[in-house]
Amino acid sequence: MKFYIVKKDHQLEAIPAEKSLLERYEANQYSYVNVVSACDKQDALKRLPTEQKHSKMWLIIGANIALFSLILTIYTIN
């Protein structure tokens, strides 16, 4: 079975791949992310490519590295 993956405010949701259902979700401020084949909704979310699920994690890692670099620079100047 195919599912549309939709997103609203960093919340992912899997819905059956019906065009009318997708249009209703888009009318409620959801945005289309991807289409996947899966057994059920939980399986559909697990099959989503990892770069879309973990993009927030890379943002946090980058911010931590920048903060650490800033603290290290300030420490070495003083």
Res 25: pLDDT = 92
DSSP annotation string for the chain: -EEEEEEETTEEEEEES-HHHHHHHHHTT-EEEEEEE-SSHHHHHHTS-HHHHSHHHHHHHHHHHHHHHHHHHHHHH-
pLDDT (mean) for 31-47: 90
Instruction: Assess whether 15 and 36 both reside in one domain.
Output: yes
pLDDT recorded at residue 54: 62
Residue 34 sits in the same domain as residue 7: yes
Q: What is the mean pLDDT of residues 17-44?
A: 92
Q: Let me know whether 36 and 9 are in one domain.
A: yes
66 and 40 belong to one structural domain: no
Rounded to whole angstroms, the Cα distance separating 78 from 75 reads: 5
Please name every residue paired with 34 in a beta bridge, in sequence order, or none if there are none.
5
